[in-house]
């Protein structure tokens, strides 16, 4: 990945990414091509016992201009490699931002921009999350989230800025040609709900 320029502790790189170098022990925030969506990497402290890293810090998020105050944490477990879940989001009055990580196995995690007023409407960004790399994906409000498991027995954990509201839950089809998400594996398992989200007919959120 080519480096474009370095200023004030931030390296600007290609493919719509901007990388901020942290102080020792802090998290590394990588801005994606989707406005408001970030990949967040740990900077582990390692010794002969193992390692330790920070997985959440409200001050560090605030320092990067990311408004996120989690109110709920959830976990999901998928038995089979190739399982797809998504693409999910909530509408007003229950708009939610999410912070997603993988705690077992591996997953291809996707943020999809479904915001009416966004210059990147219909665009998506994906990152591989594993317990070993410790990465997290932050999704702003009004962006859809989904993932595919890359290993059997994959577990994920995510925090949200809003409580789950079943009446406010919406979805985008994982295979909608308008979005053309490139899932890495054939789909092995998917729910009826996720199969039956309507195809896009215009701007949704």
| Residue whose C-alpha is closest to residue 172's, from 140, 147, 149, 194 | 194
Handedness of CA 153, 32, 27, 55 (dihedral sign): negative
Instruction: Name every residue whose Cβ is closer than 8 Å to that of residue 62 and which is 6 or more positions away in sequence.
Output: none
- The closest alpha carbon to 34, from 108, 137, 136, 130, belongs to 137
Does 88 participate in catalysis according to the annotation? yes
**Would you state the structure tokens that stand for residue 4, as one six-digit string?**
């474009």
Strand order in the sheet with 3-7: 3-7, 10-13, 18-20, 28-31, 38-41, 136-139, 98-104, 154-160, 72-78
User: What distance in Å separates the CA atoms of residue 8 and residue 28, rounded to the nearest whole number?
Assistant: 15
From 45, 88, 121, 164, the catalytic residue: 88
Tokens 């790399």 sit on residue: 133
Query: 124: helix, coil or strand?
Result: strand
CB atoms within 10 A of CB 139: 28
* 145 given a catalytic annotation: no
List the catalytic residues: 88, 158
């Amino acid at each position: 990945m080519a480096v474009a320029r370095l200023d004030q502790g931030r390296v600007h790189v290609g493919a719509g990414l901007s990388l901020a170098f942290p102080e020792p022990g802090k998290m590394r925030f990588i801005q994606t091509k989707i406005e408001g969506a970030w990949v967040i990497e740990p900077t582990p402290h390692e010794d002969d016992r193992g390692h330790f890293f920070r997985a959440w810090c409200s001050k560090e998020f605030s320092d990067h201009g990311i408004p996120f105050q989690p109110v709920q944490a959830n976990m999901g477990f998928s038995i089979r490699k190739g399982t797809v879940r998504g693409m999910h989001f909530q509408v007003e009055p229950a708009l939610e931002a999410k912070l997603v990580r993988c705690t077992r196995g591996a997953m291809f995690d996707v943020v999809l921009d479904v915001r009416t007023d966004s210059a990147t409407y219909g665009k998506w960004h994906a990152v591989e999350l594993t317990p070993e790399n410790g990465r997290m994906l932050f999704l702003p409000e009004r962006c859809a989230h989904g993932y595919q498991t890359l290993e059997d027995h994959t577990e994920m954990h995510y925090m949200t800025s809003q409580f789950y509201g079943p009446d406010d839950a919406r979805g985008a089809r994982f295979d909608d040609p308008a979005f053309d998400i490139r899932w890495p594996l054939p789909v092995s398992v998917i729910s009826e709900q996720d199969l039956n989200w309507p195809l896009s007919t215009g701007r949704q959120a």
